[in-house]
Amino acid sequence: MQNIEAVELKKRMDAGEKINLIDVRQPEEHAEFNIGGTLIPLGNIMSMQTEEIDSLKEEEVICYCRSGQRSMQASMILQNMGFTNIKNLTGGMLGWQSLFGK
């Protein structure tokens, strides 16, 4: 598992790069503010309910949460499940919002 900073991720998104984002927060957090990631709460990842992203095992997947802690945990679990290119967004949505707002 590697980390990715918000500035690098935003630069890649602004350039139109196809990025596989996974939001591991709860549905209400996702509804409040998100950057376009697929919502798969950490609990679902922990119980291995990841069917909707299983096709991404060989692709880059970037996980994010509120602060970067849950997404770090999710990243490690996904890596153990065979995902080969997992990145964790350091600072999560708090860091993103402090840099770029909503």
Residues assigned a catalytic role: 65
What residue has token string 């590697």? 2
Work out the number of other CB atoms within 10 angstroms of the CB of residue 4.
17
Q: What is the dihedral of CA 89, 90, 94, 96, to 10 degrees?
A: -60
Q: What's the first-to-final CA gap in the chain, in angstroms?
A: 27
